[in-house]
Amino acid sequence: MSRIRGHDTLPELAVRRTLHALGFRYRIAPRGLPGKPDLVFPARRKALFIHGCFWHGHNCTHGRRRPTTSVEFWRKKLKDNRARDKRKRVELERLGYRVLEVWECEVKADTWLPKVLEFLE
C-alpha cells in the first residue's frame, strides 16, 4: 500500500485544474484541519474531499468491489476508513466548515461540477 498516492491523484488534479480555471482559489490539504481536506476555501469556510471509490467504500461499481485475498483485513480496513471519514467530517463541521465529498467515479463521468458549483455558492 505504500505506493498508493495519498494526494495529487488524477481525480484530485482534474478537480483542482477546473476550479482554478473557473476562478476559484483554495488551499491544498492545509495542516491543522481534521482529516486534511483535499481543497479548502477558507473565506467560504468550505472543505472538499475527493475520495477514491474503492478506498472510501462508495456505493458504485468500483466501491463495491472487494479483494478476494485477506478478506478480513480489507473488510476491517474499509470499514475503519468510512468511520474515520465520518468522524473527521463531524469535527470539521464543529469548526464551522461545510463539507462536500466528490467521488472518483463522479470525476471520471464528469458529473461532479454542478454539485461543486452549487456547494461553493
Domain with 51 in it: what CATH number? 3.40.960.10
Domain of 32 in residue numbering reads as 10-113
User: Which residue ranges in the chain fall short of pLDDT 70?
Assistant: 1-6, 63
Q: What is the per-residue pLDDT across 22-31, written as a single tens digit (0 to 9) for each? A: 999 999 988 8
pLDDT for res 29:
84
Q: How many domains does the chain have?
A: 1
User: Does residue 120 lie within any of the structural domains?
Assistant: no
DSSP letter for 31, please.
T
> Which helix (H) or strand (E) covers residue 98, if one does?
strand 98-103
Distance, in Å, from the CA atom of 72 to the CA atom of 121, rounded to the nearest integer, reads: 42
End-to-end CA distance of the chain: 37
pLDDT at residue 1, rounded to an integer: 52
The reply to whether 37 falls in a domain is yes
Tell me the pTM: 0.87
